[in-house]
Structure 1
Amino acid sequence: MSRRLRPLLLAAAAASSLVLAAPAWGAEGAGDAAFKALYSREWTWRRAELAGEVGEDDTDRITDHLPKIDPAAQKARLDYWTGVMAEVTKIDPATLSPEARINHQIYREQIQVLINQQKFRDYEKPLNGDSAFWSDLTSESRESFRDVAEYERYIRQMRDFPRYFHDQVANMRAGLKRGFTPPAIVLKGRDASIASVSGAAGEANPYYRPFKAMPASIPAADQARLRAEGLAAIQSSVIPAYAELLTFMRSEYLPKARTVLAAETLPDGKAYYQSKIKEFTTTDMTADQIHQLGLAEVAKIHAQMLEVMKETDFKGDFPAFLTFLRTDPQFYPKTKEELLMRAAWIAKRFDAKAEQYFGYLPRKRFAIIPVPDDIAPYYTAGRGGPGVYLVNTYNLPARSLYNLTALTLHESAPGHAFQMPIAMEHKEQPEFRQKTYISAFGEGWALYCEKLGVEMGMYETPYDRFGMLTYQMWRAARLVVDTGVHSKGWTREQAQKFLHDNTALSDHEIETEVDRYIGWPGQALAYYIGEMTILAGREKAEQALGPKFNLRAFHDTVLELGSVPMPVLTARIDRFIAEGGKGPYPELEE
């Protein structure tokens, strides 16, 4: 997943400093020290270069500026990472210890993704069908900060908005000139989120949010000073930056954005889309291969859905059942509070089962909060990460309760709010593994957790199990829809109909999801391919180990990796089998 366009993680904070030692693999290799020096030097440079950019810095820090993003800075990044790749390539994996060899494989692929993003000038398109640089920044303005220094850095960062937004507009104008924009259809109404900030004065502005509930440890005089300085920064810097962006969007970008949908019609489009397939799936599969896989999986899941439908005693065919699910009031919350409380109840039900399925549990907790109002209309049903599970309370008649268990397992624990903190708690691993998110792994794990909910007894009714299957179908259908749109000339209506006919998603969700795939090529492919890799590895381990297979040890082995490409995951599961099913923390898995 592109770091600049990765999903929002509101109120994220660094994971606990708890360190568990990984199993020893033996002596260092002759090349270990040189490789460590290389990636340590690059990571330090990367953090400084991208400081303040969403998703790039330590999640407990607020920087006093935003990164340089002008063409000269972008060229410097490309040149630097190209040089790093040359050095990585010179390292012979045979000279590395087994653990360093894994790091080398992960790191090389990570650097290649960064190079590709620069080569295709992704920075000229800093928005997609799901998020945008300005909405990411809004979401990063947290509820509060910890001390005076953090507030002062936040205020200085806001003062940097005019320069940063001006450069973003310049980059977007360059992308517009060469036809490198999201399709216009997915940008409809996106100016509203900009206007909601540019038109909000004083304490009504979302960037003032951290000043409303400041920690009591900050003296009253400092609080008053910081509030005054914050309001001044909002008035002098934030609002003008958003106003410039709003004018540009309404007068230039929205009217002139491209009208065709397919990524393959972008400049050097076939190579660009294939690079996105590689980035998000970490495989060398082609669009045709993924499309055919998706069609086969859709047919398989459809048969399972028919079996569960029979359990409900519904009198009618499959389309009628989908209509029933989409329209019957019993399946939808009456209030925002009901939806949030249901999600919280499901999350706590998992807590009671967690130790049965996992040896190592993360120390970090998560909050359940509604998606911010300015992005909710086009945002997904939920989103999760370190410290947060976002639930979309906009348009309640579109938020089905029969999908809520699967959504919660995916976005909170044991999905994203579980996997990501565990990755950051493994301090023995390089930071480029702790703090970098690979979609095929992270989304594949979260989708696997939805299915694991069946074993855990989380789905209490046939409708809940059908909701789980409709979510599985949704991700399998993505393989068809994403490749259909970006490689096979599918229309927006064709993609919507495919989801409408095969899933029980609401029409609103279908519209927002299809627009997300149209505007974010390749990202939707990560989920199902990642889940299939985990399921295949588990099945192989169960067959090979028989009664020695320990599910908790298997889960700990997968999660200990952090976030890795699929070939690395498969190789680790093979080693798990070769070692007799021994997990990384035997004392926790008995």
Structure 2
Amino acid sequence: MTRRFTGIAVALLLAGIAVPVPAHADPATDARFTALSSAEWSWRQQQMAGGEDDDGAIQPKLPDVRPETQAARLAHWRDVRRKLDAIPVAALSPAVQVDYAVYRDQIDTLIARQQFREYEKPLNADSAFWSDFGYTARRPFTTEADYRAFIGQMNDIPRYFSEQTANMRAGLARGFTPPKVTLQGRDATIRSVVDAKTPEDSLFYLPFRTMPASIPAATQAELRAAAVSAITGAVVPAHRTLLRFMQDDYIPKARTALAAEDMPNGKAYYQALIREFATLDLTPDQVHAIGLSEMAKLRTEMEAVRQQVGFQGDMSAFLHFLRTDPQFYAKTPAELLKEAAWIAKQVDDRIGNWIGHLPRRRFGIVPVPDDVAPFYTSGRGGPGIYLVNTYDLPSRALYSLRALTLHESAPGHAFQMPLANENKAQPAFRKVYISAYGEGWALYCERLGTEMGIYETPYDLFGMLSYQAWRAARLVVDTGIHAKGWSREQAQRYLRDNTALSAHEIETEVDRYIAWPGQALSYYLGQMEIMKGRAKAEAALGPKFDIRAFHDTVLELGSVPLPVLSARIDRFIADGGKGPYPDEE
């Protein structure tokens, strides 16, 4: 998807070239952009109202997802883009030029999603619209308003599910669905709600089991009764209807082809997804070639470790050894969780030497919930939490746990995301997560662990390299599936031959790539951009290069398109390597 910008400044910025500072930035032009973006952001929050608001507060209503509403959103975002085109970007101040570039990328992404009617496919092998409630139910409820809002959501579920399934029927009619093979068993989370023996056994009742003492007992009783009524009268019937739809209509009739390019207007659709998730204008062939090249380099590093440990056998035999030897696997879920916690505390001990400005928010380490664990990734992190998957322990190698922890906890997702949220100097729309940046940073943190001394054994180091190869392999596999006719078995074989991932992980990961085209490309391409920028800064600054200042500069940006990150690193070099928090560096 080619992007068109007015103003040479933004064209240069998005090409990764430093934007020239205008001699006389116009405050009125800054104000014009700020008014436009602020108004649209407020409108967007109202449109998407449901679940949680911009400040994380639970909302009493769920989003309106009807086709007519979706068409109105597309028209609105197109109008916003026309107004953006009319702003003379070269007259913006340097900081607002960056805001403009980030915001324009958001608007283009939103328009593309609406044009391809992404709302007609509100699920993939990894998540679905109905699974979001599990996260809300498990979060801390602290006020009466939280409980009343969640009860409101539960009572709104029948309407919301009805609108979602109507959209899914429209997608089904035109062959716009996840492939059937990736949907097998994914209705288990719906069934778990239907099969709960009593309302009190339901996941939706979880927040009501233990309530804050600050809420009077009589009010607690009232809220619990309202929750039981909502679960009985709204939640369970809506889930039962959804389960019938999934079992009788959607899964049996879902498309059998795997490739995104086989969907309606598929080539343009997949190209738009590459643009969204990589924030770069690369063709599938280019991405595929990058993946093959990087895999060859990583294979050399992996071979060196195999030789270092003195393993007698080829790489295939070594991978089999790593997947099957009991020494590499925890015996209990508690052992896996405790090991993850120990690694995280080791990172805490060293992080100050590598990053100057630390987030205020801490994170907890908890197991992935049982109802989603069979299809979930090995771990996932975010503000306040590091989820570790304790399902099928023979698939959760300890030699990979250090890389996983660096990625998902600190200094990865559970570190970067709170930093972005705590940066009050940026407009609210800058809090939107951009995968190429966020996943690129987290993968970079895995490699950074070698410098931090986190990998204590050659097997730990191999686990990191296997994880690097896993993400490089995604460039090959994603484009192979969606643009080159690869089969599911071919994709699984490529991961099996080139990484130490378990058979279970390989199956769930490949299904994730099949059902979520493009997202897997963000990790390695994002890491490459950070590493390229760091190498450039080290070469240019020499002894003036300060690793803490560099990392603070990258993190202070929050999520941005990769060309914006590149341009900011160029400015870091031009400024002599000075970071955004000199007193902390």
TM-score normalized by the length of structure 1? 0.94
One-letter code aligned to 2:237: P
- Describe how 1:244-393 pairs up with structure 2 within 5 A: 244-393=241-390
Q: Residue by residue, what CA displacement relative to the aligned partner does 1:28-81 show, whole Å, maximum 9, x if unpaired?
A: 643000100000000000011101157xx3252100000100111111111111
Aligned to 1:242: 239
Q: Distance in 2 between matches of 1:184 and 1:116?
A: 25
Q: Distance in 2 between matches of 1:532 and 1:143?
A: 35
Aligned to 1:437: 433
- Deviation, 1:214, is 1.2
Aligned to 1:204: 201
One-letter code aligned to 1:466: F
Structure 1: state its 5+ residue gaps: 1-24
Aligned to 2:404: 407
- Deviation, 1:94, is 1.0
Aligned to 2:20: none
Aligned to 1:6: none
1:31 aligns with 2:29: yes
Runs of 4+ in 1 over 4 A off after TM superposition: 25-28
Question: Residue 144 of structure 1 contacts residue 213 of structure 1 at CA under 8 Å; is this kept in 2?
Answer: no
One-letter code aligned to 2:243: L
One-letter code aligned to 2:330: P
Change (3 A) 1:72 1:223: same
Aligned to 1:538: 534
How many residues align? The count is 562
3-state SS in 2 of match to 1:146: coil
Question: Residue 143 of structure 1 contacts residue 209 of structure 1 at CA under 8 Å; is this kept in 2?
Answer: no
Q: Residue by residue, what CA displacement relative to the aligned partner does 1:401-433 show, whole Å, maximum 9, x if unpaired?
A: 000000000001100011111111111101000
Aligned to 1:46: 44
Aligned to 1:233: 230
3-state SS in 2 of match to 1:368: strand
Q: Residue by residue, what CA displacement relative to the aligned partner does 1:255-301 show, whole Å, maximum 9, x if unpaired?
A: 00000000000000000000000000000000000001100100100
1:189 aligns with 2:185: yes
3-state SS in 2 of match to 1:141: helix
The correspondence for 1:169, drawn from 159, 162, 165, is 165
1:124 aligns with 2:157: no
3-state SS in 2 of match to 1:384: strand
Aligned to 1:577: 573
- Deviation, 1:26, is 9.6
One-letter code aligned to 1:134: W
TM-score normalized by the length of structure 2? 0.95
The correspondence for 2:485, drawn from 480, 486, 489, is 489
Aligned to 2:144: 148
Aligned to 2:62: 66
- Describe how 1:213-228 pairs up with structure 2 within 5 A: 213-228=210-225
Q: Residue by residue, what CA displacement relative to the aligned partner does 1:106-141 show, whole Å, maximum 9, x if unpaired?
A: 111100000011110000000012111111222222
Q: Distance in 1 between matches of 2:28 and 2:573?
A: 28
Question: Residue 144 of structure 1 contacts residue 215 of structure 1 at CA under 8 Å; is this kept in 2?
Answer: no
Q: Alignment identity in percent?
A: 63
The correspondence for 1:396, drawn from 393, 398, 403, is 393
Aligned to 1:549: 545
Question: Residue 411 of structure 2 contacts residue 445 of structure 2 at CA under 8 Å; is this kept in 1?
Answer: yes
Q: Distance in 1 between matches of 2:414 and 2:300?
A: 32
Q: Distance in 2 between matches of 1:231 and 1:267?
A: 43
Aligned to 1:517: 513
Aligned to 1:16: none
Change (3 A) 1:213 1:59: farther
Q: Distance in 2 between matches of 1:98 and 1:217?
A: 48
Question: Residue 346 of structure 1 contacts residue 405 of structure 1 at CA under 8 Å; is this kept in 2?
Answer: yes
Q: Distance in 2 between matches of 1:372 and 1:167?
A: 27
Q: Residue by residue, what CA displacement relative to the aligned partner does 1:510-532 show, whole Å, maximum 9, x if unpaired?
A: 00000000000000000000000
Aligned to 2:415: 418
Structure 2: state its 5+ residue gaps: 1-22
- Deviation, 1:383, is 0.6
3-state SS in 2 of match to 1:352: helix
- Deviation, 1:311, is 1.7
- Deviation, 1:550, is 0.3
Aligned to 2:3: none
1:134 aligns with 2:130: yes
One-letter code aligned to 1:45: W
Q: Distance in 1 between matches of 2:139 and 2:564?
A: 38
